[in-house]
Amino acid sequence: MIDQLQPAQLQDWIASQAPHGKAVVLDVREPWEIETACVTAQGFDLVKMVMHTIPARLQDLNPDQPIACLCHHGARSMQVAAFLAQHGFSHVANITGGIHAWSSQVDGAVPTY
């Protein structure tokens, strides 16, 4: 099952996942997007991995670790979350609304684009 999280719900989700290890926010956007707007890791590890590289880099992720996927608005991150779940990742979430919603719900200093 893939949890659907609003950015404002992320910290509660991370707390609920604590028994499974430190959570990761997996930012799947393109490098130029990350340069334009990026989250600050607070209570989680931030991993930047462009969406199309994930199949080749799957071994770089821990399938037992909680992973919340992030993109611009939530569509790419949902595809990545589904891909991870299909490959045995058991604690996966999608951050709905992506970095755009993050700006309005969590950190207004993060620019929108």
Catalytic residue among 14, 71, 78, 106: 71
Beta bridge mates, 105:
none
**Euclidean distance between CA atoms 38 and 40, whole angstroms:** 7
Catalytic-residue membership of 71:
yes
**What DSSP string runs through 23-92?**
-EEEE-S-HHHHHH--PPPSSSEEEE--GGGHHHHGGGS-TTS-EEEE-SSSHHHHHHHHHHHHTT--SE
Catalytic positions: 71
